[in-house]
Structure 1
């Protein structure tokens, strides 16, 4: 798979699927501001890519190219759309982040799906980014992605930009899993926001809820275990529009004619007032209609001379709050028109549909006043589009002080949309503003927007990102097999035959999940007799050494494996080495053995007590104590207890800078000695003077071994997942077949 210098990650790809008459699919570039910004930025890098959902449930299309961008679709099924997108993203986060204009809805299964969907985006992005590359993650749907990417790719720079508001800590604190969301964002090197208040809200939440040290705009993020602390910067980057594209449209005479035609179609009123919004409860449409209705009732606006055009683009119509909003808006429009519309023309022209960019520009050019009365908005680009659409330097912008655009467009008429009287007054003032005053205000507004377009926004963010954080040196992790990929059995048999002909070999294996099926009760584990028998028989052959390398404590491994002394046993991920067969050079391994001094033992005792407290809070969790480590096992935890216990353990890990912390399959191990299976197998190979090594493993801890194997060695992964192993088999039954086949081939040698 090719890799790229700059990878953008967003909920949606920058293209929409269009079905052609012959049934083929054509991908058409979406008309969004983010797409426009990234197109220009990506033209300046050697290789740019975009990771996102293609827009349809089900399997993702294969990666493809469009407009010079490499696109990598992420699969979302119907459940993901319901729970990740419509659920946690838009029924939980969206209302909470927009000042709880409607009540957020909380469902724990939504969170579970949000996590799994975020992991899919993160994994795809990590896989396609070049060593030392840059990943830019966008928006509230993907707040966990930065930390997930960092766990896979500590060598890359990661930026995150939040396009919607970030709420005050008093509101954010209501969010279940709030700390996980903050830590997800802190996986980035740079976290960007629309407004200064959003940046400060985020820093406040980090300070109060995580207790992190903050120096001005820099957050110190503690590492897990021995991983070094990192610094994360929070900054403000107000987004903008593609001003050049809008300006080109305003030079089009067809659009000028369309603007004039629109006035005629509306009955050639003296004044046109325009509202353009997604049909969303944050946009203040109900407040705007209430104010307009009262102005008509007061008799200060003549519906024969002034008309309100309200464009309400369809949005999230499967979400209850949005369906209810549409019903309320359409009922209000109908009532006002019934009360006030003159014959042959409306008092409010309500348009519940999308408009292309040309028609939208014509509407802006026709409008004397534009009302942007959002109750809460990250930015609101309608305000900026209107300003750039008026090269005649006329028109009036009424702008909510709660929209991000209000920070920049100070020459607009700023209003509090919750104050209906103030909104009415601002509307009347806009309708009566002299041309000279309009010219003065619009000149200021246009200068601000034209000098700060979307391309400059993107460049500013990426330049700041290059100066933020300290990514680790690029490390090429060799992923030989992805997901479920596996070479055929014939290839594996050929590799076994070649390995069996090697003069001196070491056959090493993990225990749980490889030689013994994983069971809920660790003490009830039963090794596969076929596998164990094959390993015993292998030790009797010339030039063969056998070792079991496990995360279990050495004594526990010895008890459950029941292997003869001809098999070397290594426990606690390499920290414990048992008695060695006579044909192994013991001095090679003795140099790597550990000694527990008083300080290490005291630290281990403290860790054990803390993990036991965590286990007590989540029934079913257990703590295992080894000579040099303590392990939290969550396999038998009830309900969501496994995830919650793991999260608590990792939270604790951030306070232990001198401890090696290894998360695995439903375990988190805290070792006061730095050791891993890769080091242990390498030492075993030296001790055996082996010409080649066969290793079988199923866990993330086994990847340390696979990563160090050479072309002469043979790595076999049991189960799914990305791996550095060269081969994959499904389960412990397959392991028995492989070992028996190796035994047969070695005997034939």
Structure 2
């Protein structure tokens, strides 16, 4: 797979987007210094290649494998690839740290002790956000996003918060632990909520699915019916149903079986046995060098069989392939030392001259050599202590069209649920493991053939392509499109739009007869400050708005999250400028020419029940605030607001998490997370609703809106063809154009004023 051109900018979105920790390609430097991208080996890549051929446009979001600045998006074999940036610190804390030293051991039954570090969680959170930010804007409207594995468990919810119009699936390739073990994980509820952003959650084994559902029921208290979880929305947002199902992954069975028929590979298998001294029996273990794979248990059993004289090293040789893995992590360094010491002891005590008792291979083999090894082996030992699936077992079966060979398989590997004709074993019981090895070595040809025929039927009929298609078909049935309440992303990143594009849009807008010009306040007309009452709006920007408000055919409004009285105090605008506070819940005085009856005041009425509810919310938010120094609670006529801008350390993140957990218990409240703020409103409205009403009340031909916050996206989403939307600052947005800061806002308003004056 070689890189070609960048994705066509005229087709920036894709029907299916796969999100995984790594891209499906590895970079190779050619002799002339150029970079070539070559397809990575692996079952997921194989599965997705077949799926991508069935969609009009497919994309893959992942890390390119090297820390630092990522390559630009490019295409390979008809798939658009979007590299995600990971710095060296991300690699150490997000990948080696939280993913592989916290989650991996915890999810594998705490075979080694997991480490918990808060800085690792911070890196995990940040990296997951980066993957989500890369995936959300490149997914087509109504498209599908498929997120993979434990490194990205927060991504489903992060994408859903940006794109409620897409279907989201998540597949966990490793085990999911019992609720007792999972409960040890700091930020456990954040992980569960992140996963529940998906429409469909897939696991390898039925026990994994049941463990997840039990964790949701116990730790989040959500309603569960069978394998369907009812996920409450924030406040008044509707309940979603998330389905949990089991999808055991497989391999490209036909391709592996075809390799076994290759004459060169058959010859290589014969040569391998000859190189080992033509023993009567060859026993093979193939694993990543990982403490979950049971390599130490296997070697212990093998050593004892040699010690007991039950295996003659002149007649039987063991090959142990231990592919290098995570060699920077201390637990893996220790494991390698132990394995190599054990192999050395066994060979020192039992190896005949010129032949090992254990042939230890600490390196990778390509697919052809691996198939030859499988064909040369009379017995393959898969003794994982805990494994999501273990594809070595399936690869061995697919490599034996001759119906010979014996698979010894741990009952703690996911493959044991399907490959029932294998010799199943508890690898923790060394005596049982020794007996299983002896049974396998002595198994008659007829019994081998009967078992292998059953195993091959299972593996050949259920390949990785079927796995992928089964998952996506189920997701198609499960994903319930909600009618996007979150706007479709039009702009990503931080770079401002070209000045010429902004000016051209202003010129076209200024030519329309009747206009509404509306703007947010904080972060737009006034720079963000830590003390809300110390805010200093740009006097020239306010002056331009005042002048515009006095011109015929123009209505001007300030639409803010601040309470109406507070907004009035800080702007001192004339009555010709409409003030809208509390995200649309409070509307100030209207000019006499504006059609007041268009504004639906009935929705703004506070009842005694709403007053009581607001008081209860305020009390709870103050309790959360007291637990996180630096946070504070603001009260408004129709809302209570938790501000976290001045929180200390991780207090802001933790307070926000507590507030959002509380939010799902309030079915009659509108909850709006913003920039370091969460607002709880007992009146159901939004800035988008307010601007739409103002546009109708002023009979505007088009409107312009300037905003910088998440709460402004509800306005941007309402924009029609002639409306002009400007995002102030960075971040994904539904706005049509982006400007840099409050200085740029002043320039836009002054330019619009000049254009309107020229028009006369």
How far apart are residue 687 of structure 1 and its match? 3.0
**Which range is displaced more, 23-32 or 269-278?**
23-32
The superposition leaves residues 634-674 of structure 1 with CA deviations (integer Å, 9 ceiling, x where unpaired) of: 11121111111111111111111221111111111111111
How far apart are residue 236 of structure 1 and its match? 1.2
Equivalent residue, structure 2, for 1:465? 475
> How many Å separate the matches in 2 of 1:349 and 1:705?
67
> How many Å separate the matches in 1 of 2:570 and 2:424?
74
Equivalent residue, structure 2, for 1:59? 69
2:45 is the counterpart of 1:45: no
> How many Å separate the matches in 1 of 2:599 and 2:80?
49
The superposition leaves residues 258-316 of structure 1 with CA deviations (integer Å, 9 ceiling, x where unpaired) of: 00100111111111110000011100111111111122222222212111100000111
2:396 is the counterpart of 1:383: no
> How many Å separate the matches in 2 of 1:43 and 1:111?
37
> How many Å separate the matches in 2 of 1:413 and 1:517?
69
Q: Call closer, same or farther: CA 1:500–1:350 in 2, change over 3 Å.
A: same
Equivalent residue, structure 1, for 2:30? 20
> How many Å separate the matches in 2 of 1:355 and 1:408?
26
Are the aligned partners of 1:131 and 1:475 in contact in 2 as well (CA < 8 Å)? Answer: no
Equivalent residue, structure 2, for 1:5? 15
Equivalent residue, structure 1, for 2:105? 95
2:151 is the counterpart of 1:141: yes
The runs of at least 4 aligned residues of structure 1 exceeding 6 Å deviation read none
Equivalent residue, structure 2, for 1:307? 317
> How many Å separate the matches in 1 of 2:102 and 2:53?
36
Are the aligned partners of 1:131 and 1:474 in contact in 2 as well (CA < 8 Å)? Answer: no
2:687 is the counterpart of 1:677: yes
> How many Å separate the matches in 2 of 1:462 and 1:723?
29
> How many Å separate the matches in 2 of 1:491 and 1:210?
48
**Which range is displaced more, 632-641 or 459-468?**
459-468
How far apart are residue 727 of structure 1 and its match? 2.5
> How many Å separate the matches in 2 of 1:545 and 1:465?
47
Tell me which of 715, 725, 742 is aligned to 1:732. 742
2:720 is the counterpart of 1:713: no
**Which range is displaced more, 308-317 or 603-612?**
603-612
> How many Å separate the matches in 1 of 2:486 and 2:706?
22
2:214 is the counterpart of 1:194: no
Are the aligned partners of 1:9 and 1:135 in contact in 2 as well (CA < 8 Å)? Answer: yes
**Which range is displaced more, 596-605 or 382-391?**
596-605
Q: Call closer, same or farther: CA 1:462–1:634 in 2, change over 3 Å.
A: same
Q: Call closer, same or farther: CA 1:196–1:711 in 2, change over 3 Å.
A: closer
Q: Call closer, same or farther: CA 1:475–1:638 in 2, change over 3 Å.
A: closer
Equivalent residue, structure 2, for 1:273? 283
Equivalent residue, structure 1, for 2:262? 252
Are the aligned partners of 1:225 and 1:657 in contact in 2 as well (CA < 8 Å)? Answer: yes
Equivalent residue, structure 2, for 1:370? 380
The superposition leaves residues 583-604 of structure 1 with CA deviations (integer Å, 9 ceiling, x where unpaired) of: 4333333656621112222222
Q: Call closer, same or farther: CA 1:593–1:262 in 2, change over 3 Å.
A: closer
Equivalent residue, structure 2, for 1:239? 249
Tell me which of 637, 640, 657 is aligned to 1:630. 640
> How many Å separate the matches in 2 of 1:483 and 1:142?
21
Tell me which of 656, 665, 677 is aligned to 1:667. 677
> How many Å separate the matches in 1 of 2:707 and 2:52?
40
Equivalent residue, structure 2, for 1:151? 161
Equivalent residue, structure 1, for 2:502? 492
- Is the partner of 2:234 in helix, strand or coil? coil
2:558 is the counterpart of 1:548: yes
1:328-727 correspondence runs (5 A): 328-473=338-483, 477-589=487-599, 591=601, 594-727=604-737
Q: Which TM-score applies when normalising by structure 2?
A: 0.95
Are the aligned partners of 2:161 and 2:486 in contact in 1 as well (CA < 8 Å)? Answer: no
> How many Å separate the matches in 2 of 1:543 and 1:44?
53
Q: Which runs of 5+ in 1 are unaligned?
A: none
Are the aligned partners of 1:369 and 1:431 in contact in 2 as well (CA < 8 Å)? Answer: yes
> How many Å separate the matches in 1 of 2:688 and 2:73?
34
**Which range is displaced more, 5-14 or 510-519?**
5-14
Q: Call closer, same or farther: CA 1:68–1:500 in 2, change over 3 Å.
A: closer
- Is the partner of 1:38 in helix, strand or coil? helix
Equivalent residue, structure 1, for 2:239? 229
How far apart are residue 341 of structure 1 and its match? 1.3
Q: Which TM-score applies when normalising by structure 1?
A: 0.97
- Is the partner of 1:267 in helix, strand or coil? coil
1:25-36 correspondence runs (5 A): 25-36=35-46
The superposition leaves residues 8-34 of structure 1 with CA deviations (integer Å, 9 ceiling, x where unpaired) of: 221112111122222222221122111
How far apart are residue 122 of structure 1 and its match? 1.9
Q: Call closer, same or farther: CA 1:142–1:562 in 2, change over 3 Å.
A: same
How far apart are residue 350 of structure 1 and its match? 0.5
How far apart are residue 485 of structure 1 and its match? 3.5
Are the aligned partners of 2:487 and 2:714 in contact in 1 as well (CA < 8 Å)? Answer: no
CA RMSD of aligned residues (A): 1.8
Equivalent residue, structure 2, for 1:177? 187
Q: Call closer, same or farther: CA 1:429–1:531 in 2, change over 3 Å.
A: same
> How many Å separate the matches in 2 of 1:576 and 1:170?
48
**Which range is displaced more, 335-344 or 305-314?**
335-344
How far apart are residue 49 of structure 1 and its match? 2.1
Q: Call closer, same or farther: CA 1:359–1:698 in 2, change over 3 Å.
A: same
Are the aligned partners of 2:137 and 2:490 in contact in 1 as well (CA < 8 Å)? Answer: no
The superposition leaves residues 354-402 of structure 1 with CA deviations (integer Å, 9 ceiling, x where unpaired) of: 0011100100110111111111100111111111211221111111111
The superposition leaves residues 205-229 of structure 1 with CA deviations (integer Å, 9 ceiling, x where unpaired) of: 1111111111111111111122111
How far apart are residue 471 of structure 1 and its match? 2.2
> How many Å separate the matches in 1 of 2:42 and 2:517?
56
> How many Å separate the matches in 2 of 1:494 and 1:462?
44
Are the aligned partners of 1:495 and 1:714 in contact in 2 as well (CA < 8 Å)? Answer: yes
Tell me which of 716, 725, 741 is aligned to 2:751. 741
Are the aligned partners of 1:577 and 1:593 in contact in 2 as well (CA < 8 Å)? Answer: no
**Which range is displaced more, 87-96 or 453-462?**
453-462
Are the aligned partners of 2:603 and 2:683 in contact in 1 as well (CA < 8 Å)? Answer: no
How far apart are residue 475 of structure 1 and its match? 7.7
Equivalent residue, structure 2, for 1:163? 173
> How many Å separate the matches in 1 of 2:513 and 2:274?
92
- Is the partner of 2:599 in helix, strand or coil? helix
- Is the partner of 1:235 in helix, strand or coil? strand
Are the aligned partners of 1:576 and 1:593 in contact in 2 as well (CA < 8 Å)? Answer: no
Q: Call closer, same or farther: CA 1:157–1:746 in 2, change over 3 Å.
A: closer
Are the aligned partners of 2:106 and 2:114 in contact in 1 as well (CA < 8 Å)? Answer: yes
**Which range is displaced more, 208-217 or 556-565?**
556-565
How far apart are residue 543 of structure 1 and its match? 3.6
The superposition leaves residues 144-198 of structure 1 with CA deviations (integer Å, 9 ceiling, x where unpaired) of: 1111121122222221111101001110000011011111111111111111111
Are the aligned partners of 1:393 and 1:442 in contact in 2 as well (CA < 8 Å)? Answer: yes
How far apart are residue 469 of structure 1 and its match? 4.2
